[in-house]
Structure 1
Amino acid sequence: MNHELKFNILGLEKSIFNKDIENLEKQILDSIPKSLQHACLYWAEYYADVNVNDETSMNCLMEFLQEHLLHWLEALSILTATHRAGPLLRMAERSIQQLSSQISQTLNEGCRLVDLFYLPIGESCTGLYSTILTFSPKECCLAELYKKKYPHNIKIKEGGLRDWPKNLSILQGHQRSVTSIGFSPDGTKIVSGSYDNTVRLWDASTGQSLGQPLEGHQAGVTSVEFSPDGTKIVSGSGDNTVRLWGACTGQSLGQPLEGHQDWVSSVGFSPDGTKIVSGSSDNTVRLWD
């Protein structure tokens, strides 16, 4: 990637939204070889087994971060794969955090830049440069480094961000009050339940909705939880039922669990994930296989 990624890889004459690029698929075929596309989407997996003494790999990674990170984000934007940026950077950070504190810190800053500018990165492959370099926090060393490489961007004389914002993103989509939320065991997804009768899944690194709302309950969803292995979701509702969902597919698994005579107020999995427990306003607790 260090030899092939570059600024404005499509050779666009002006900065425009991705949706306005003519013949985008053909331009991708002409400008981004399949081998480079694959590298952009899977490079972090290589570092899962990297050795502390592999100085060449460490140097290549640092060169990538300091010279080509924005080029890589541009390529992901073109490939409609911006959602891969955060997970790949975090995968690499986990793999080398005990090997190089400097690289780990740089990867962490890259993650935070992606989280902060996820939407503009995905919308404009060339516009992302001015957005990131103009509005990144002053304490971001990585952004300050790239500002020297692209000195002609707009500069903010007063105001702007000094520190990283505490609120990374706002997850919007539910139509009524959100009643219950939870993280997947690996921390990559968020599940939420709402009085709009739906369950939603979110990407924890970007705040983007994953798929369509999980629909089936006939009243407000009062409680949600991931299974210990992260493959299933259980939900309880004001329709007196408990439902089980596939976390990857979003599909309802089996029929609703019926038996409660009033609102289901709380649900949970057993530690081994083989049983479900539910509590209800009918003053009972039920155990389900």
Structure 2
Amino acid sequence: LAHACLQVMQQHLCFNICKLESSYVRNSEIADLGERIKGCIKPYLAYSCQFWTDHVRLMPFEAEIAEEIKGILLNEKMLFWLEVLALLKLMSMVPSMLSIDKEYEEVSVAARDGIRFARMIGGAISESTPHLYLSGLAFLPKNSILGRHLKARFPKIPRIVFGGAIDWPSLQLSIRGHTGGVISIAFSPDGKRIASGSHDQIYIWDAETGLQVGKPLKGHIYSVTSVAFSPDGKRIASGSWDDIICIWDAETGLQVGNPLKGHTNWVTSVAFSPDGKRIASGSWDETIYIWDAETGLQVGNPLK
């Protein structure tokens, strides 16, 4: 299926696939865009564009597949693929789609460039897809792999002749969703998720896509000042200005057991032990508590 998807994309992806006449018109203002998408992006092409990387991940490394992927990512087919995803409103999924195994070497490097490019122009081309070519290409950093391979193929596009980016910026992604100040964040041990604490709730995010994972974790009544993943990534501990510690199932978002109570002032920090069996918490009451992570019971006396 990986071969088939890549072949479909190679044969059927093309420039301006839905024959959009102007970059001055938003996608939402094109009355017949839905019909154009149905007529021009056939189901087999839509499927291939969305799921080809899933099929690649399910198979062992093959040099032939690597060459086929390079045939997409390192020439104009990359842009035509992004064009289809923008029209299908799937740009937010590009980072997860392009998380390709490191065994694919040059392909993996190009894929990381693709992720950066998609994050940079995803919002703009979802609003007006022709700007993938008119604006997106112009802002590709000079030293990026995509910049070196793609700009020469579109010689008539606008170009930045002074002050253009040389390399990709350090900022990878901005995640928005909280309605109040973000006080604490933590990565999961595998680096795939981020937990963030704000006013009375915790959000979990996909670290690649920036998309929210599940619903907010609600249980605290005041700001969440500290969050920590267990070493196996299955649980999250949180401390709050409500003087308590909560433990959460990181997959379901459900609270595990009762809150851990003992502190008499704000809990400002929480941490799991390396084996995940203990939780330590620090508070403005000038104490440190150690808890049994399974039972929620206090272990020994507070450390003062």
Aligned pairs (5 A) from 1:9-24: 9-15=17-23, 16-24=25-33
Question: What's the secondary structure of 1:178's corresponding residue?
Answer: coil
Match of 2:187 in 1: 183
Out of 253, 261, 264, the residue aligned to residue 263 of structure 2 is 261
Q: Output the amino acid matched with 1:2.
A: Q
Percent identical: 35
RMSD: 2.8
Q: 1:55 to 1:172 in 2, by over 3 A?
A: closer
Q: Distance in 2 between matches of 1:272 and 1:22?
A: 59
Q: 1:51 to 1:38 in 2, by over 3 A?
A: same
Match of 1:145 in 2: 149
Q: Output the amino acid matched with 1:6.
A: C
* Contact preservation (8 Å) 1:221, 1:237: yes
Q: 1:225 to 1:198 in 2, by over 3 A?
A: same
Q: Distance in 2 between matches of 1:228 and 1:26?
A: 50
Q: Distance in 2 between matches of 1:155 and 1:215?
A: 49
Question: What's the secondary structure of 2:226's corresponding residue?
Answer: strand
Q: Does 1:80 align with 2:93?
A: no
TM-score of the superposed pair, with normalisation by structure 2: 0.79
Question: What's the secondary structure of 1:164's corresponding residue?
Answer: coil
Q: Distance in 1 between matches of 2:48 and 2:205?
A: 26
Q: Does 1:28 align with 2:28?
A: no
Match of 1:221 in 2: 224
Out of 191, 196, 201, the residue aligned to residue 192 of structure 1 is 196
Aligned pairs (5 A) from 1:106-145: 106-145=110-149
Q: Which has the larger radius of gyration?
A: 2
Q: Distance in 1 between matches of 2:83 and 2:155?
A: 18
Q: Which runs of 5+ in 2 are unaligned?
A: 1-8, 295-304
| Residue 63 (structure 1) shift | 0.9
Q: 1:260 to 1:118 in 2, by over 3 A?
A: farther
* Contact preservation (8 Å) 1:260, 1:280: no
| Residue 139 (structure 1) shift | 0.8
Q: Which runs of 5+ in 1 are unaligned?
A: none
TM-score of the superposed pair, with normalisation by structure 1: 0.83
Q: 1:32 to 1:229 in 2, by over 3 A?
A: farther
Q: Distance in 2 between matches of 1:80 and 1:29?
A: 14
Aligned pairs (5 A) from 1:204-283: 204-210=207-213, 213-248=216-251, 251-254=253-256, 256-262=258-264, 263-269=266-272, 275=277, 277-281=279-283, 282=285, 283=287
| Residue 246 (structure 1) shift | 4.6
